[in-house]
Amino acid sequence: MIREKLKNLVRETLEQLAVDAGDVRLEHPADFSLGDFSTNAAMAGGKRTGRDPKELAEEIVAELNKKKDEDIEKIEVAGPGFINFRLSQKFFAGQVAEVLKKRDDFGKNDLLAGKKIMVEYTDPNPFKEMHIGHLVPNAIGESLSRIIAFSGARMERANYQGDVGLHVAKAIWHFLNAEKDITSEKDLDGLALGVDYAAGTRAYEENDANKAAIEEVNRKIYDGSDAGVNEVYQRGRARSLELFEELYERLGTKFDHYFFESETGPVGKGIVESHPEVFAESDGAIVFRGEEHGLHTRVFINSDGLPTYEAKELGLLKKKAGEFPFDVSIAVVGNEIKEYARVVKRAAELSLPELGSKMLFVTNGMLRLPSGKMSSRTGEVISAESVLDAVAERLAPKLQEARIANADELKDPVAVGAVKYSILKQRTGRDIIFDFDKSLSFEGDSGPYLQYTHARARSVLEKARGLGMEADVSFRRDVGIVEKLLCRFPEVVERAAKEYEPHYITTYVTELAGAFNSFYAQERIVDAGDKAPYRIALTDAVAVTIKNGLYLLGIAAPEKM
RNA sequence: CCCCUCGUAGUUCAACGGAUAGAACGCGGGAUUGCGGAUCCCGUAAUAGAGGUUCGAUUCCUCUCGGGGGGACCA
């Protein structure tokens, strides 16, 4: 890659001049007019050797100029001592050709080659409906998965679901208590979608008799002693998982592994019990003394002998490794888990040393409405599905103008894209303000903007093809921002993979789409002039890159819209 | 009280210790009636406060103020 080439060139020259500049760093100047790459080597070197940075920069440039090849047009000193590189038209034209050669593979890199990485995300609870909050880890996890795979790793997706616990008991108790019929489709769906859970929760808080009855059901779920409970449990659980699958499909996710708390609990308990040197007994519970590690103490097995979230997490880690011997295990979890996760990781490092060090948590914030948290006016939790439906509804009028026969088919891909974009446009870990009226306008900085730009480019290409015009990178215009941005895509993907941050891709694709739209407004692509073949090639390269970028965000790229 | 985290245009977000802090929405103005106007162009406006480190700080350190999360049997 050109970056490595330039870096080596600078390194070599510094060595030759006997200048110690520490770690040589190459970056892109903030302004395209300054050049394509710049290094602060002279400033760093000047400091170490006590020399004037600008003077040293001139000396380095003089030496670099002797070595430059046809990819480099100009090397110059600017500002307080930056050395700026300007690449040649020939280089950029070559890059456009490269994009067209690689097509769907453009942007792939080998940062994680040879690594096995498991990504766990979404993590809904059976017997409850997936809510608006699940959209965040789903969008982040799916995007991370694709970025990681694009960076050369063998990646597998995992989903971890809470199929046991008090929330399940509440749902089942209410279902039985209300004498609902498990063979009724309507009752079954109500159970799966959290209707009984909500009512059960109210009953639990209402009086002690209900509370005791629900706790009794909870025990029966654990020991499987009651045939009636078992049947409702099994059917309800199965129906929940089925409904989740429908939503995963709509969102564009397909998991390779499913883990359940009913399985991780016993495994986790076993791990805790077999490591008395790590865990300690306290007030009838088994805890991990986090204070000794600058953290806080947490209970792993409660005084009833049941494993808590923390112990289950250890069990999960072991089960994951059993199914897929990973080098890194990433879990996308909510911010509120952050502090627990640190304790769990430390405990895992001590009890499962070969696995604990491979644990990594990516945290995500909440999806909030501007009015407050994530519930609607009535206080009901907003379901993930209703959010997508609402966005799709908003799109309907605009899609009437779409250039495809069945505009209805576009509703979902565009709605999902709009929602995912608003989640992935910002750094992970912070709350996302989701405003139907403002932040989700489909103009400017948005998912539909990217999809529209892609469709527009495809449409131009189709027209060119209809006229029998061929792309050709050898007829070039003056290189513009579009070309310069195009060849940065692979390094953007690499950075996103290195930092586990999808938003770098979002920012980049938006910038590229903007640059292309400006280009489109200024120059006619398909015309009789001799520059048309190059412009067609450039348009194709942009379409390929936007499509790949959208893919990495988990957003569809329709041919028309 | 302790730990973590975040404070950037009116709003929602960017900025790998670097050059004039960059977009979008909003607001104001405009686009030779030519490939898709869900577009493009111009303008408007910001680093919470005070110190420190550095040639250079939105970024690192300290304190203050403000928001969010966590602090033993729920996740």
Nucleotide nearest to A519 (CA to C1'): B40
CB A37 within 8 A of CB A126: no
Which residue's alpha carbon is at the shortest distance from the C1' of B23? A445
Q: Which residue is nearest to nucleotide B73 (CA to C1')?
A: A302
Report the C-alpha gap between A212 and A218 in whole angstroms: 10
Q: Name the residue with higher pLDDT: A439 or A6.
A: A6
CA angle A369/A371/A374 to nearest 5° reads: 40
pLDDT (0 to 100) of residue A379: 52
Q: CA gyration radius for chain A? A: 28
Phi and psi, residue A70, nearest 5°: -70, -15
What are the tens digits of pLDDT across the range A399-436?
A: 887 777 778 889 999 999 999 999 999 999 999 988 77
Q: Which residue is nearest to nucleotide B68 (CA to C1')?
A: A431
**Where residue A547 falls among pLDDT bands split at 50, 70, 90?**
very high
**Nucleotides of strand B under 7 angstroms from a protein beta carbon:** 3-6, 11-16, 18-20, 22-26, 31, 34-36, 38-41, 55, 68-75
* The overall pTM is greater than 0.90: yes
| Predicted pLDDT at A337 | 93
- The pair phi, psi for residue A330, each rounded to 5°, is -100, 135
Give the three-class secondary structure for A413. helix
The reply to whether A397 has its C-beta less than 7 Å from any atom of strand B is no
At residue A397, does pLDDT exceed 90?
no
Query: Of A153, A245, A260, A239, whose CA–CA distance to A196 is shortest?
Result: A239
State in Å, rounded, how far the first CA of chain A is from the last one: 36
A334 near A323, Cβ under 8 Å?
Answer: no
Name the nearest CA neighbour of A483 among A87, A97, A92.
Answer: A92
Which A residues between 423 and 462 have a beta carbon under 7 A from any strand B atom?
425-427, 429-433, 435, 438-439, 441-446, 448-449, 452, 455-456, 458-460
Domains of chain A, first to last: 2-87 (3.30.1360.70), 387-427+435-553 (1.10.730.10)
Nucleotide nearest A528, from its CA to each C1': B35
Helices (H), A467-531: 481-486, 489-499, 503-522
What Å distances lie between residue A333 and A140, A157, A159, A339, A534, CA to CA? 10, 14, 12, 11, 46
- Residue A362, classed as helix, strand or coil, is strand
Q: What is the pLDDT of residue A370?
A: 67
Q: Which nucleotide, over all strands, has the C1' atom closest to the CA of A437? A: B25
Taking each continuous run of H as one helix and of E as one strand, the counts in chain A are 21, 14
Say whether pLDDT at A3 is over 70: yes
Mean pLDDT of A219-236: 94
DSSP assignment, residue A91?
A: H
A467 CA vs B67 C1’ separation (Å): 59
Nearest to A166 by CA among A133, A203, A132, A131: A203
Residue A495: CB atoms within 10 A of its CB come to 17
